């Protein structure tokens, strides 16, 4: 494997003589003030331009600027004509097109396909400032504006749609976004390595259609070039010969990541297909052929098979290239980019961000920025592998950490320069609050591992779960002069936290603002297994520690659990049992989250195919329970809000149909009353119980994430 050049080690482009811009320019007037006659790269984004490291366009723009390129921003352009895309002139190297921090369809529509009226990434929170399938439209307008200027797709929308994918809104499989957009190249993941290498190679005069060897990219070609070994995985029962480490049928839920590459076949179950490894083959010149777009579009089982192979090829240390035919074109996906080392992460987050929106927005509030402006991202990636989540597909499963010094310097910068800072850091985390500096104990094992999760079905024995580095960081952060409080608002992986009670004590004693949000997602094993989430027993163990340490600290603090309705693998009885658990524990959700089939997720493949890609996919394999009808989705959401009288009729009817009439009536062991209030709009009085309260962020229900593009946490 070719070693990656650190992102700060490239020779600077000639335009570095122009220095650093206060803000990346959004107009010709700003370009003139900087002395620019043109931009080398223009980033077109569906979000408002906020010069903050939680916004993708700011990270990529500032990184390219540090490499010596002149970077302009076209933010939320009027897509109805090409004119807004001509505002900064023709870029010398390429247009970089991204939908923003979220997939544009998830940003615009609820899980029930209802249009949202707001957009947290727009000044004033106004909805409708970007088109549906944002990247497609922007790319086509860029092409219309400037002909043959290279167009490069990036961001979360491109990452999740880089291959043939089931689209929830069309209810069908769509082609790769690269094919539909007619762009030249697609960068998936956070893409710092890829975009820096690409810009320098284009700057040296290389043609974009010849740049096919950058990791973390997807491109189109007409055939397999000479010298490559193609592995046929286009069919369910008869895949071609592959060596053991890329066997798409290894049972990843049962196989331990302690298993070395050469031992995979011996560890496979007796009924698994067996392959003969060929040591002469060059892994760097091997490509796995997936079923074509036409096949996965017409055959949901083949779609699930392709999804399984894709997710087993995500470890950058052993993944191989993938190819999928789209008609007469071949879509190639190079292996993922190698993770950034800590000095590289420090370099990226140490850019001269202003940390505020561009002055062009005046006094308009941008809700996403308002929520994260006093937060600090300390890491990226997640090895949890939750099947409904977008983090692994975009950021990868290997944790990339900033140094303690870099993080503390950013906190001091917030303290010293940010208007409105009151001494409270609103979050110190990332995609997951407590995976900072957690990794496999063995680099050799990590390089060979193909498990989609390090913590399911249990925590891997090779995973380091020592939280002491994070505990030490918390202590240093809150001891900084001028810092009154450091809160932890990112999602907490509680099954990891209980492995280090000292961390839980530190968190509960000093870093919880009255409520801590965590996501057990369900109580029943059926849906939890399909989510790759731990059993409710892990939540109970964490709750015991939480309550113990809260009491010792003399604080009244409560857990706010999140649950998902209608996730694949969930039956009506599972939801009834969850509702009973909620009632027993005194929880009343203000808002609930229904499963949202985001592009390319494993749970979305379950939803579309009724097959489980976590195991070997066959036409005869067991089907997954899938909630598709609006009526059943309403029932599952209603059961999460069992306390709402408006939901009692639908719950009562369902209990009768399930022959569970014993749960209808009065009493702590009953779910809903037998009689409906005279006024259906009359709500049962809310108990004055802190367990029943939510802070303002929970009421809003949309926990925005830092540079991850995750769907909203709640859907009213």
Euclidean distance between the first and the last CA atom of the chain, given in angstroms as a whole number: 48
Distance between CA atoms of 453 and 257, rounded to whole angstroms?
10
Contact call for residues 85 and 140 (beta carbons, < 8 A): no
The predicted model scores a pTM of 0.89
Q: How confident is the model at residue 2 (pLDDT cuts 50, 70, 90)?
A: low
pLDDT-above-90 percentage for the chain: 83
CA 444, 445, 450: angle at the middle one, nearest 5?
A: 125
Distance between CA atoms of 614 and 307, rounded to whole angstroms?
10
User: Is the per-residue pLDDT at 89 higher than 80?
Assistant: yes
The 10s digit of each residue's pLDDT in 358-382 is 999 999 999 999 999 999 999 999 9
| Residue keyed to tokens 């059943």 | 632
Distance between CA atoms of 516 and 127, rounded to whole angstroms?
30
- Sketch the domain layout of the chain as residue ranges: 14-222, 229-306, 374-643+684-700
pLDDT number for residue 339: 96
| Cis amide linkage into residue 120, ω under 30° from 0 | no
User: Is the per-residue pLDDT at 572 higher than 80?
Assistant: yes
CB atoms within 10 A of CB 78: 12
The 10s digit of each residue's pLDDT in 406-436 is 999 999 999 999 999 999 999 999 999 999 9
Residue 17 vs residues 69, 328, 595: alpha-carbon distances, Å: 10, 45, 50
One-character DSSP codes across 54-74:
TSHHHHHHHHHHHTT--EEEE
| Residue keyed to tokens 């939908």 | 99
Q: Which CATH class is domain 374-643+684-700?
A: alpha beta
Q: What are phi and psi of 699, to 5 degrees?
A: -60, -40
User: Is the per-residue pLDDT at 702 higher than 90?
Assistant: no
User: Is the per-residue pLDDT at 715 higher than 80?
Assistant: no
Helix (H) or strand (E) holding 231: strand 229-232
Question: SS in 3 state form for 128-163?
Answer: CCCCCCHHHHHHHHHHHHHCCCCEEECHHHHHHCCC
Contact call for residues 605 and 626 (beta carbons, < 8 A): no
pLDDT number for residue 260: 36
Q: How confident is the model at residue 441 (pLDDT cuts 50, 70, 90)?
A: very high
Contact call for residues 348 and 650 (beta carbons, < 8 A): no
| Residue keyed to tokens 């007469």 | 328
Distance between CA atoms of 149 and 154, rounded to whole angstroms?
16
Strands, E, within 281-328: which ranges? 286-289, 321-326
Distance between CA atoms of 398 and 405, rounded to whole angstroms?
21
User: Is the per-residue pLDDT at 535 higher than 60?
Assistant: yes
Burial 258-283 (b: 16+ CB within 10 A, else e): ebebeebbebbeeebeebebeeeeee
Lowest pLDDT segment from 269-273, 441-445, 497-501, 512-516: 269-273
One-character DSSP codes across 446-514:
HHH---S-SSSSS--TTB----HHHHHHHHHHHTSTT--EE---SPP-HHHHTT-HHHHHHHHHHS--S
pLDDT number for residue 225: 86
Question: With DSSP H G I counted as helix, E B as strand and the rest as coil, what are the percentages for the chain, rounded to 5?
Answer: 35, 15, 50
Distance between CA atoms of 99 and 121, rounded to whole angstroms?
11
Nearest to 640 by CA among 699, 554, 582, 681: 582
The 10s digit of each residue's pLDDT in 285-341 is 899 999 999 999 999 999 999 999 999 999 999 999 999 999 999 999 999 999 999
The 10s digit of each residue's pLDDT in 253-300 is 444 444 333 333 333 333 333 333 443 467 888 999 999 999 999 999
Coil, strand or helix at 647 = helix
- Spatial neighbors of 84 by CB under 8 A, at least 6 apart, are 74, 77, 78, 141
Distance between CA atoms of 136 and 150, rounded to whole angstroms?
15
User: Is the per-residue pLDDT at 483 higher than 60?
Assistant: yes
Q: Higher confidence at residue 710 or residue 585?
A: 585
CB atoms within 10 A of CB 297: 17
* Positive or negative: CA dihedral 456, 433, 314, 714: positive
Helix and strand numbers (H, E) in the chain are 25, 21
pLDDT number for residue 693: 40
CATH topology for 14-222? Rossmann fold (3.40.50)
């Amino acid at each position: 494997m070719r070693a990656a050049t650190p992102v700060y080690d490239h020779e600077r482009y000639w335009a570095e003589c122009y220095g650093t811009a206060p803000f990346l320019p959004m107009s010709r007037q700003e370009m003139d003030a900087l002395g620019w006659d043109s931009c080398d790269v223009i980033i077109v984004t569906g979000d408002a331009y906020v010069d903050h490291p939680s916004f993708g366009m700011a990270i990529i723009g500032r990184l390219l600027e540090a490499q010596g390129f002149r970077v302009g921003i076209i933010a939320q352009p009027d897509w109805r004509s090409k004119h807004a895309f001509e505002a900064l002139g023709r870029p010398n190297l390429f247009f970089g097109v991204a939908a923003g921090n979220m997939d544009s369809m998830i940003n615009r529509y609820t899980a029930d396909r209802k249009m949202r009226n707001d957009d947290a990434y727009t000044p004033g929170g106004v909805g409708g400032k970007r088109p549906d399938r944002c990247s497609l439209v922007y790319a086509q307008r860029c092409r219309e504006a400037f002909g043959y200027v290279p167009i490069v797709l990036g961001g979360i929308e491109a990452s999740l749609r880089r291959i043939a994918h089931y689209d929830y809104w069309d209810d069908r499989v769509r082609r790769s976004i690269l094919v539909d957009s007619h762009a030249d190249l697609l960068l998936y993941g956070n893409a710092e390595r890829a975009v820096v290498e690409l810009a320098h190679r284009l700057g040296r005069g290389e043609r974009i259609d010849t740049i096919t060897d950058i990791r973390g990219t997807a491109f189109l070609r007409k055939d397999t070039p000479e010298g490559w070994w193609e592995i046929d995985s286009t069919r369910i029962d008869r895949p071609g010969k592959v060596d053991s480490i890329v066997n798409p049928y290894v049972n990843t839920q049962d196989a331990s990541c302690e298993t070395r590459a050469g031992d995979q076949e011996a560890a496979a179950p007796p009924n698994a297909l067996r392959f003969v490894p060929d040591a002469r083959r060059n892994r760097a010149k091997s490509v796995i052929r997936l079923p074509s777009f036409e096949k996965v579009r017409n055959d949901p089982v083949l779609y699930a098979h392709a999804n399984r192979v894709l997710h087993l090829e995500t470890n950058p240390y052993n993944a191989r290239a993938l190819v999928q035919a789209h008609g007469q074109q071949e879509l190639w996906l190079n292996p993922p980019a190698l993770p950034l080392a800590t000095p590289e992460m420090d370099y990226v987050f140490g850019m001269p961000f202003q940390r505020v929106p561009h002055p062009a927005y005046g006094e308009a509030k941008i809700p996403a920025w308002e929520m994260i402006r006093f937060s600090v991202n300390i890491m990226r990636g997640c090895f949890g592998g939750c099947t409904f989540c977008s983090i692994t597909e975009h950021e990868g499963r290997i944790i990339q950490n900033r140094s303690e010094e870099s993080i503390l310097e950013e906190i001091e910068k917030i303290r010293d320069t940010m208007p409105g800072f009151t001494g409270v850091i609103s979050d110190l985390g990332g995609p997951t609050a407590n995976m900072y500096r957690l990794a496999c104990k063995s680099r050799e094992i990590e390089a060979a591992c193909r498990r989609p999760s390090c913590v399911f079905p249990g925590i891997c024995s090779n995973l380091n779960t020592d939280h002491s580095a994070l505990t030490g960081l918390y202590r240093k952060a809150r001891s900084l002069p001028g810092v009154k409080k450091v809160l932890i608002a990112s999602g907490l992986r509680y099954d990891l936290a209980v492995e280090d009670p000292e961390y839980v004590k530190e968190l509960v004693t000093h870093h919880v603002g009255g409520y801590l949000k965590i996501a057990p997602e369900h109580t029943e094993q059926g849906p939890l297994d399909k989510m790759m989430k731990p059993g409710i027993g892990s939540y109970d163990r964490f709750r015991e520690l939480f309550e113990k340490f809260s009491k010792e600290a003399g604080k009244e603090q409560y857990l706010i659990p999140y649950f998902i309705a209608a996730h694949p693998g969930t039956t009506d009885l599972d939801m009834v049992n969850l509702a009973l658990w909620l009632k027993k524990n005194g929880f009343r959700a203000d808002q609930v989250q229904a499963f949202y089939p985001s592009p390319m997720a494993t749970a979305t493949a379950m939803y579309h195919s009724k097959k489980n890609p976590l195991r070997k996919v066959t036409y005869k394999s067991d089907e997954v329970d899938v909630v598709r009808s609006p009526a059943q989705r309403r029932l599952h959401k209603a059961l999460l809000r069992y306390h709402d009288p408006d939901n009692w009729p639908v719950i009562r009817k369902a209990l009768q149909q399930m022959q569970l009439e014993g749960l209808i009536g009065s009493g702590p062991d009953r779910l809903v009353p037998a009689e409906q209030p005279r006024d259906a709009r009359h709500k049962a009085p809310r108990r004055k119980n802190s367990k029943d309260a939510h802070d303002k962020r929970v009421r809003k229900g949309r926990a925005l994430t830092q540079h991850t593009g995750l769907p909203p946490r709640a859907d009213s």
